[in-house]
Structure formats: structure tokens, C-alpha cells
Structure 1
Amino acid sequence: MKSWKYLLMTTMVGSALALGACGTDSTEEAETDTESASSASKDSQEEAVLEGKVSGDGSSTVAPILEAVVEEYSTEQSKVQVTVGVSGTGGGFEKFIAGDTDFSNASRPIKEEEKQKLDEAGVDFTEFQIAYDGLSLVVNKDNDWVDSLTIEELKKMWIEDGTEKKWSDINPEWPDEKIVFYSPGTDSGTYDYFDEVVLDEADLVKSAQLSEDDNVLVQGVQGDKNAIAFFGYAYYLANQDTLKVVKVEGIEPTNETIESGEYSPLSRPLFVYAKNSAIKENPAFYDFMKYTIEKAGEMAEAVGYVSLPEEEYEKGLADLEALK
């Protein structure tokens, strides 16, 4: 802009010297053009300012990503009010089905029965994948006997069989102490995922203390040497100074092992499900979803998850644009 103004001023001075009185007209025209350009720029900026409300709910695992997105978005569109609840994946879908929210965060794919209820409610939706997570097993920092667990050991540990579980039941060399279990609540997508890939849909051990808030699980393990829990990778990273992560089948969850799928079977995608009608009818929601997809990879890495390949975000943007 400065070079453009300098060029304009030079031209004006040259014209004044060469043309005398005609220079006055040139100056007035140039000033008029400048004022018009400034006015057009101001109008464009005003038109870009949106107002409206956007509401979402769902997974506590996905919440850190969306909270980071919302914080950044508020600096660009301060008149758009975005609220994001944390009722767990299942609880979020219940509100989505009821028509209470524009989008639902999920740490597992939507279930067939949830799709059916949305169809019955007349809600069309689109699935957007936003990041990868590695469901992480953690124990107390003072636990010096567990470094790695197999899927079979996890089954023996976490499946209810009517007995009181002790560490020595899993490995005779481990302490003869009762295992204290902390688990996400039954509305959590993390619970559902663990139930599917580890428990084979058997009953979770009845003594487990459940919570939809992963921070409660973190605090439980921090306070008990015999405790074990599972939750999203970001919550482990945020508390790695006070927690110890357990390898699964000899593989530790890291950005590299999660993205490659080597951390199997506990690597998983994270989702946002958006209501199609809200995308079409609410400019603020369309703009927020566009911003979310554009920033999801960056925000995922910032809070401790793993970004998708860039082409996945490009596909998401194309799917969003097709709904507008």
C-alpha cells in the first residue's frame, strides 16, 4: 500500500509541473479514487463481520480441539457466539437428535441406531473427520511394575468375572494389591471404543469408577499407586509429568505410532458431525465449520492429538462447500 501511495504522489507532482492548472483536476480525481477505494475496503470488512449463535456438544476427547478452535475463532468473529458442551459422545448425539445442537463431537463413528433416530427426526448430517487419537492406558507415576500390557491381559484386567482383581492375578510377579479402575462413563465414545476393541462388548469390571470428565480420571490415577485408567492421548500428554503411560503390545502411543496405525488397535479417528440444514441456513455456522476444518490439524497438534493428511482436510472443505 505504501509503494502504491508513493507512486500516486509522484505521478501527481509530475502532472502538476507539466500541466499547470490541469494538475488540480488530477489531484482531485486521485483523492476521490483513494476515498472510494478506502470506502469499498471498509464496506467489505463490515460485510465480513458475522453475527449469530452456534451450538455443539459431545465427546470430552474431542473437546480440547474444539475449545482451541473456538478461542481462536472468537478473535476473528467476535459477534458469533459459539458454545460447546461436554456430555460425552453418546450424550452429544442425544442432543443432536433432539435438535438442540448444530454439531456433535464424537470419538467414535456414529452408530446405526443413532443414524436411524436422526433420520426419523428429519435431521440430515455430514461427517467430518478432524484428527487422530491414540486411546492411552495410564498408571500412577510410582507404579514401577507395569510397563506394557497385551490385549489379553487388558481383557483379563478389565472384564467383569465376579472376582476381585489384583495386580498379581495378571502377573504373579506383580504386587498382591487390589487394582483400582478409572474409566470414562458409558456415554463416552472412548468407553464405546474400548468396549469394542478390547472388551469385545463384555461387561466392564463393576468396581470401576466412571466419569464423563477425563480430568476426574486423571486425578484419580494421580492419587492412587494402584490405579489404572484409559482416556484420550491429549489428556495423557497434558499430565505426563504425573502419569505413566503403558505400552500396548509393546507399542507406546506417540504421534508417529498413532498416525501410522502401528499403535493398534487403540489408534482411532475423531469426528465432528454437522447438521446440513444449519450449514445452509446459518452463515455463522457455515463460517465456523469452515474455520474448524481449516484449523483442525493445527489445533489438534497444539493440544496433543495428531493431524490428518492435508488432503483429508481439503476433502472436508469440499464436502462443506457442496452443502452451502
Structure 2
Amino acid sequence: MNSKKILTGLLAGILTLSFTACAPKKESNLAGIVKIDGSSTVYPITQAVAEEFNKENPDVSITVGISGTGGGFKKFVVGETDINDASRKVKQEELDKAKTNGIDMMELEVAYDGIAVVVNPENNWVDDITTDELKLIWDKDSKVVYWSDVRPEWPKEKIKLYGPGTDSGTFDYFTAEINGEEKRIRTDYTASEDDNVLVQGVEGDKFAMGFFGHSYYEENKDKLKALKINGIEATTENIKNGNYKPLSRPLFIYVNTKALERPELKTFVKFYLEKAKDLVEEVGYVPLDDAKYQEQLNKIK
């Protein structure tokens, strides 16, 4: 497991980490507080950036929460945080609330990610599943109870389902792409904003299925089996070039534009984009092209 992500399993809801305590001291004139919340999928990237930034700027206190994309936006649009990690684009109602509260935001793309559909490693009856079959299983009106309800040759054993909670951008994206409408999903599944809970659930049940960000599968691939979707494997290349349809997507941070006037925040965001390519890959995601990062940097300059 990547050492930068060990603490992730201890986090839930709005728990935050401060990365300043153990940072080695270096000369820096920057001081202040940077508050970040949002997506558990984007969290490992932002965590890694925060740790690296604090090595050079130990007097800037950075907190990173994992309330989920939607949960984070609830704080961001009222000015409680400076940055929201997001595994989907901001919704119109979130933009409207931000405008009402005088919050202007900047969208910055930071990486690509896929959504992995996973089963237990002892599952020896399915390696590939179609989007139609996923809808049959996960849709709000699903009648599927047993694996054999999907394909008769599959075992007559109950499917135990695990997935993100309703504040998750991964939840929004998956339900929209698979079930045709955001938040349209059956209710009898185990939900958590902490992806490690989902990993442990599928790992512990031979007849389980779950979905979450692909990086969490990569981190736990010795405990899980990822399914091909419509015959396409969720490889880095397939995610980057969009072949892994429809479950590949960009990841974002949203920055409070007014707050960018603070030197510590502007310096942090620039650092984020300058270091993102290496750190994104290090924590298991797919980096953008150099030109795309430069395009994001130009926005804040």
C-alpha cells in the first residue's frame, strides 16, 4: 500500500488531517491556513501535495477533509473552505448557492480516474460485465437478488452490494452513467464515503460486488478482482484515452477565486499544478498531459 494513503482508512465524514506537525523546517515567508474538503477520490492527490508543500512551507497549516464531493461543496459554497476536491463537475444548484453567498469559483482539472467495478477474488464466474447488466443489478427498480438473476449460469447466491454514499461524486457519476439518472439506485446496499470500508466489504464476502475510484482498486488489487466493462479493462491507458467507457472521468479541484488573493493559497494552488503530474501517478491516478497542466496554471496567473 502506498505509504501516503495509510491514514485514509482512519478517516470518515468530515475528519481532517493537518500536515504541518511533522514537516521539516525550511526557510519560508509564507504563513496562514488553507482549508480543503470534498471528494475521497481526489483526497489522496491533495494529501500528497499538502505533505510536499509543507516541507517547503511549514508555517502554512493545511487541513484536508473527505466529506464527499457534494458534502464538500456544501461547505465551499458558503465560504467555509478555500478548495473543494471534486470527482465530478459542479452542479448548477451549487453554482447558484455560491453566487447567492458571493462565492466565485475557479475549476481546475488535476487528473483522470476510472471507476472500478470489483468482486471478491474467489469469484470465478464473472470477469466481464456489460453496462446493461450493471444497470440490472444497481437500478432503483432492480429485482436482482441472486447472481443467477443476471445470468442463469451464475450461482444462485445473494449479491452483497457495496458503494459510495450519496454525497460522493463517484456515486453521482456512476448512477448517471449506468442507471441514466444521478442518485437513481437501489437502497439495499452498504454505503460509505470511505472507500476503504467498501474495499473491506468486498474483500470479506465471496459473493460481493462494489464500485469506487480505480486508484483504490490499484492499491488493493491483491484483495479484489476488477471486472472488465463491455470487454474493456480499466488500465491506465484505457482510462486516459477514454476507451474505458462509460466509467472514466476527469478529477477537479474548485478554488475560491477571492481567496486566491491570499499568498499562501495562490502559492499552494500553483504548487499543486506544478507537482501534480508526478504526485498523481505516485498515488495511483492518471496524470494530464503537460500542456493541460500548463493550461490550468495559466488560469491562476
Q: TM-score, normalised by structure 1?
A: 0.83
CA–CA distance in structure 2, aligned partners of residues 164 and 198 of structure 1: 15
1:164 positional shift:
4.9
2:265 equivalent to 1:270: no
Q: Is 2:112–2:285's contact at 8 Å kept on the other side of the alignment?
A: yes
SS at match of 1:198: helix
Match of 1:5 in 2: none
SS at match of 1:115: helix
CA–CA distance in structure 2, aligned partners of residues 245 and 267 of structure 1: 14
Q: Deviations over 1:122-163 (max 9, x none)?
A: 101100000000111000011111101111000001113263
Letter of the 1:115 counterpart: L
Q: Is 2:234–2:244's contact at 8 Å kept on the other side of the alignment?
A: yes
2:65 to 85, 93, 117: 85
2:157 equivalent to 1:177: yes
1:74 positional shift:
1.0
2:207 equivalent to 1:229: no
1:97 to 68, 77, 84: 77
Match of 2:3 in 1: none
Q: Deviations over 1:67-124 (max 9, x none)?
A: 1111111111111101010000000000001211000000000001111111111101
* Greater displacement, 162-171 / 190-199: 162-171
Unaligned runs of 5+ in 1: 1-44
Match of 2:242 in 1: 261
1:238 to 206, 219, 222: 219
CA–CA distance in structure 2, aligned partners of residues 167 and 129 of structure 1: 38
1:210 to 183, 191, 213: 191
SS at match of 2:136: helix
Structure having the higher helix fraction is 1
Q: TM-score, normalised by structure 2?
A: 0.89
CA–CA distance in structure 2, aligned partners of residues 129 and 267 of structure 1: 14
Q: Deviations over 1:201-258 (max 9, x none)?
A: 2731221111011010000001001111100011000000010000000011111000
SS at match of 2:287: coil
Match of 1:50 in 2: 30
CA–CA distance in structure 2, aligned partners of residues 163 and 307 of structure 1: 39
Letter of the 2:30 counterpart: L
Letter of the 1:220 counterpart: G
1:180 positional shift:
0.4
Q: Is 2:136–2:142's contact at 8 Å kept on the other side of the alignment?
A: no
Map 1:109-120; keep pairs closer than 5 Å: 109-120=89-100
SS at match of 2:77: helix
CA–CA distance in structure 2, aligned partners of residues 207 and 86 of structure 1: 24
Q: Deviations over 1:181-206 (max 9, x none)?
A: 00100000000001111011273122
CA–CA distance in structure 1, aligned partners of residues 49 and 234 of structure 2: 24
CA–CA distance in structure 2, aligned partners of residues 173 and 250 of structure 1: 19
Letter of the 1:205 counterpart: R
1:299 positional shift:
1.1
Match of 1:132 in 2: 112
Match of 1:189 in 2: 169
Q: Deviations over 1:38-90 (max 9, x none)?
A: xxxxxxx95x4311110010000000101111111111111110101000000
* Greater displacement, 302-311 / 203-212: 203-212
2:155 equivalent to 1:168: no
Match of 1:142 in 2: 122
RMSD: 1.2
Match of 2:47 in 1: 67
1:260 positional shift:
0.6
Map 1:306-321; keep pairs closer than 5 Å: 306-321=286-301
Runs of 4+ in structure 1 off by over 6 angstroms are none
SS at match of 2:179: coil
Letter of the 1:222 counterpart: E
Larger radius of gyration: 1
